[in-house]
Amino acid sequence: MKYYPIFLDLKGRPVTVIGGGEVALRKVQDLIASGALVTVIAPEAHPELERMASGKANPIIIRRNYCHGDLDGAALAFSATDDGEINSAVYREAEERRIFINAADDPENCSFIIPSSFSRGDLAVAVSTGGASPAMAAKLRRLLESSLPDDIGDLLEALQEARNLLKNHPPFRDLGAANRGEVLKAIVASDEHLVELARCRREGTLREFLKKIYDTLLQGDL
């Protein structure tokens, strides 16, 4: 099956997780970190889930078995049980309601799969083998993670600040989108420029650095 890669903005969106064990815990932790509003439905919940829910509205834990109708209002659903019949029932309801559903280690009852992923600051990298080999996806993810510079998060923040300066502040305000893109591409293409970008951001001289790059490109008929 060919999957469509996508990153979802789940901030403030309701997500239902069926199951309360170790797998459910990992799903809930990732979902809450993404800003989702999580409801867990399970007769028993992992102690860490209980701790997370104590005195808070996120996640909400409903301590009972799954019932048809539990996905009402959900933007996304997860089935984190080891019971194939429950997973199938949750999948059928999700299909009825046109809700995307993931069932852990049960591809027959999934309409989407979770890639192996990692993040550093604003950088998020996800690797999928289309369900063929999660172990290989994890291996490739580790290789990619080890190949990235430790300061990639700081570099992305500096590039975001540079982009905002080019878009909103003189003397760059009149630059077109294409020219702004050329300045940023020139920075990213050079390791030396990236080092200088990070240094200038720390020193508060980012605008002067961007002006230098822009002038250099202008001389080459940007």
> pLDDT tens for residues 52-98?
998 778 999 999 999 999 999 999 999 999 999 999 999 999 999 99
| Confidence (pTM) | 0.78
Task: Give the β-pairing of 100-103 and 76-79.
Answer: parallel
Report how far residue 145's alpha carbon sits from residue 116's, in angstroms, rounded to the nearest whole number.
11
**Structural domain boundaries of the chain?**
14-114, 116-148, 152-219
- Domain 14-114, CATH homologous superfamily name and number: NAD(P)-binding Rossmann-like Domain (3.40.50.720)
Do residues 103 and 90 make contact, with C-beta atoms less than 8 angstroms apart?
Answer: yes
Contact predicate 183/166, CB 8 Å = yes
Q: How confident is the model at residue 130 (pLDDT cuts 50, 70, 90)?
A: confident
- Enter the tokens of residue 39: 């409801």
